[in-house]
Amino acid sequence: MMLLEHDAKMLLAQDGVPVPDGFLASTAAPAAVGAEPCMVKAQVPIGGRGKAGGIRRAETIAEQHQALAQLLGTTIKGHTVRACRVEEIVQGTECYLSFSLDPVRGRLHVLVSAQGGVDIEAHAGKSALLAADAAFTLGAAIDATRQLAGGIASPIRETMIEAAEQLVAEFFKFEATLLEVNPLFVRRDGSWVAGDMKFTVDDNALVRQPRLSDLINRRADAYPESALKLANGFDFVVIDPAGEIGLVTTGAGLSMQILDEIAARGHKPFNFCDIRTGQLRGDPTRLVRALQWIAAGPSVRSVLINFFAGITNLGEIAHLLVAAWKAVPELSAPVTVRLIGNGYHEAIAVFEAAGNPLRIEVDLDRAIAAALAPLGGAYR
């Protein structure tokens, strides 16, 4: 989950990371008054906002209001601008610093450059951009950064080391996957300021991060998917409001595979869902909520449930599915359930005792075909 720039800066500023003074504006004429001149920056969770026209310089308060009026409500790379950060303009040498997790190798990738700004990509592969891999520990990250900074001329070198040590500590503190500061302004007096920031955190770690959880809860309108996961304990993302088929599935990889299978057959999934069967613990509440959200989909005409059980007994899951289905009478679309794993025959007995309200399949391809049949797909 990528934090919006304003939230990332406010979060790290609480720990002493220097950031430009600024505020969040959601109207064209906010009560707060920004500095003159100032920068008006669209708050969307993507990079490249400047090149997309999402960052404007305003010389006066009137220009600030004009920039806000022009940006609010617009769309940048598929994201609607609902707020902008208005902040003071900072001067200094523009540098670059980045820490990112390599999830495949479990290592930290460190990038340092004495040249930053919107054209940092032009430095890739050149001597101006210094890169290193390090073991995924705070000490190794600091050592790697110090070694890289050795290739930067003084007096910037010492400031870059100071900034890197402070920022990488924040990276590990919040269990981040990316922390990029570009530009990182180095002033003549040796101080530094994080001019712009990308901060991506692992949303699976939110339960261990009270400050991040509090941020998500306070700003639920800006992070609806993460707020939903925090409140309900599972992933549910509407990927196409006009989608025809709702999904209740377990396992992120298998859930993505089912999305691809449905799209390849010419149909539009309504949502992505990943409910871990082991977390249900005899309570149908999560299933009820997922079915309620699917029932609210205006174009949903079929539902596919896919549970691959290991330790969890499918007999228990069947009881929960029947209870959830009965609890959501507004769900009029037919429901296909693909079950495989421990306790399958017990599950079948449960469904039979309930009058077989759900269509059951063992084979995934047949389950997908059955779920698509109400949409015009073939199923025999």
Which CATH number covers residue 54?
Answer: 3.30.1490.20
Average pLDDT over residues 247-274: 92
pLDDT digits (tens, 9 = 90+) for 262-319: 999 999 999 999 988 777 778 899 999 999 999 999 999 999 999 887 777 889 899 9
Name the burial class of residue 153, with classes exposed (0-12), middle (13-18) and buried (19+) by CB atoms within 10 angstroms of its CB. exposed
CA 191/CA 217 separation, integer angstroms: 34
73, 88, 103 - which closes a domain? 88
Domain containing 136 — which CATH number?
Answer: 3.30.470.20
88, 111, 126 - which closes a domain? 88
| pTM exceeding 0.85 | no
Q: Is residue 288 part of a domain?
A: yes
88, 114, 133 - which closes a domain? 88
Instruction: Compute the CA torsion angle 236, 239, 244, 246 (nearest 10 deg).
Output: -10
Average pLDDT over residues 113-140: 72
Both 183 and 243 in one domain: the answer is no
Number of structural domains (the chain) is 3
Reference 365, options 250, 246, 257; nearest CA is 257
When pLDDT is cut at 50, 70 and 90, the band that residue 323 belongs to is very high
What H or E segment, with its residue span, contains residue 62? helix 61-71
The answer to whether 177 and 100 are in contact (CB under 8 A) is yes
**C-beta atoms surrounding 279 within 10 Å:** 12
pLDDT digits (tens, 9 = 90+) for 125-135: 554 677 888 88
CA 11/CA 17 separation, integer angstroms: 9
When pLDDT is cut at 50, 70 and 90, the band that residue 169 belongs to is very high
Domain containing 320 — which CATH number?
Answer: 3.40.50.261
> Strands 359-361 and 335-341: what pairing?
parallel
pLDDT of amino acid 124:
52
Both 242 and 193 in one domain: the answer is no
Average pLDDT over residues 320-349: 92
Q: Is residue 331 part of a domain?
A: yes
Both 325 and 250 in one domain: the answer is yes
pLDDT of amino acid 287:
94
Q: What range defines the domain where residue 56 resides?
A: 21-88
